[in-house]
Each structure stands twice: as structure tokens, then as C-alpha cells.
Chains A and B, each alone.
Chain A
Amino acid sequence: GAVVSQHPSWVICKSGTSVKIECRSLDFQATTMFWYRQFPKQSLMLMATSNEGSKATYEQGVEKDKFLINHASLTLSTLTVTSAHPEDSSFYICSAPQGTSGIHEQFFGPGTRLTVL
């Protein structure tokens, strides 16, 4: 099956700094990728849809100036958490769809654990 990677797998940063997380589709192209946030023992919350060649689409309540998304190529999307604060500490997961005839399966990256001190 298709493989999606994320880098880094974990990161610790100081409050006020910015952190960039990369999501790559390794063996397929993805014009769309998705970013999720997962709190401990909770479900995944869709944050935004990353669109290659155009602006990301954010879900209601997600600050687009806080979580900057750039879909640089057909295999790479980045999420930058700007001016990170402890409440931004979470598990961030990306996914990319692959499929035909409008029926797409999502392939998920392994996630990035962000800890803001």
C-alpha cells in the first residue's frame, strides 16, 4: 500500500518558537493532504486540508495564522506551528488520499509528537 512519512517523529521546543512538521507521500502523488491533531486518549480532529498550488482550507476554530500550511509539491505538505505555546503540545498526524473513481482511502503518517515547554 501507499506510504506516508512524517518528520520529525517527535520534537520538543521552547515556548514562543516555531516548529515545522513535514508530511511526505513516498510512492504516490497527492494534490490534497490533511492535517489532524490528537490529544492523549482522544480522537483525531481534522485541522485543515492542504491543497497543492492553492491555499489550505481550515476547519472551523483552527487559527490559520497559528498553523501555517504549505503544500510545496505533489508529495510534500508542511505544517508550521508558529509561536508555539504549551497548549499546542499534541500529536499531529497527516494523511493523504489515494484511489480512483472518487473513492479514496486515506493513508496516514505515523504522527509527530510536539511538546512545548
Chain B
Amino acid sequence: AQSVTQLDSHVSVSEGTPVLLRCNYSSSYSPSLFWYVQHPNKGLQLLLKYTSAATLVKGINGFEAEFKKSETSFHLTKPSAHMSDAAEYFCVVSPRGAGNQFYFGTGTSLTVIP
């Protein structure tokens, strides 16, 4: 079975401070992992993906995530938050060999305080 747990439903940071959005997963297969962002009234946008290459993955807009198999985690980070980062973030697991289905975490709402 596959599941994704996003440990924080809401995260609030000040502009210019680091961002940490936590994600843990479980998967019966060796998974691909993704982070997507959803701005209000807009479609989902891919931030980054892990597909068994480098464990530290760099994405768009300065975001990074590190795959830690021993901890079954794929936390999203950014060194310095920008106002435009305020959005909903989803961690997604796709078990390989499972027909490309995506399973979404419950989402983390990021607020950036000026």
C-alpha cells in the first residue's frame, strides 16, 4: 500500500527565513516522489521530483528536497522564503510499476509573513 503523510497542515514563516515542509511516505515499491505547488485558483505545478538518481533534488524557485530512505522522508526546503511562495504544497508518491498512479499527501499551506 502507498501513503504519504505531510506532518504539518499549516506552516508560517517570515519573509527571508528558511522553509521546511515535512513529508513521510510508505510504499510497497521503490517509489518516485514529487512535490507540487498549488497557488489559489491555479493548476498544480511541479516543483521537483526524485526518481532514484541523486538523493538531493533541486527544483524550481530555489526549492530542494532530500530523499532519505532510512527515514522514509522527502522533506522540502528553501533557504529564504519569498512572499510569492505562499501557496499549498503537496507531497506525492508514485509507486513504480503501479501504472503511474499518484497518491497525494494532505497538503501543507505555507504562509509567508512580510
Binding site for A on B (CB under 8 A): 32, 34, 36, 42-44, 46, 49, 51, 90, 94, 96-97, 99-107, 109
Contact = CB atoms under 8 A, between A and B. Distances in A.
A51 B67 CA distance: 31
Interface of A: 32, 34, 36, 41-46, 49, 57, 93, 95, 97, 102-106, 108-111
Residue among A34, A102, A105, A110 having the largest count of chain B Cβ atoms under 10 Å = A105
Contacts of A45: 104
A42 B102 contact: no
Contacts of B43: 93, 108-111
A44 B99 contact: no
Contacts, number: 52
Given A42-B106, A43-B106, A43-B107, A102 B42 contact: no
A97 B99 CA distance: 10
Contacts of A41: 109
Contact of A43 (B90, B96, B97, B100): B90
Nearest to A1: B46
A32 B100 CA distance: 9
Contacts of B90: 43-44
A34 B101 contact: yes
Residue among B49, B96, B100, B105 having the largest count of chain A Cβ atoms under 10 Å = B100
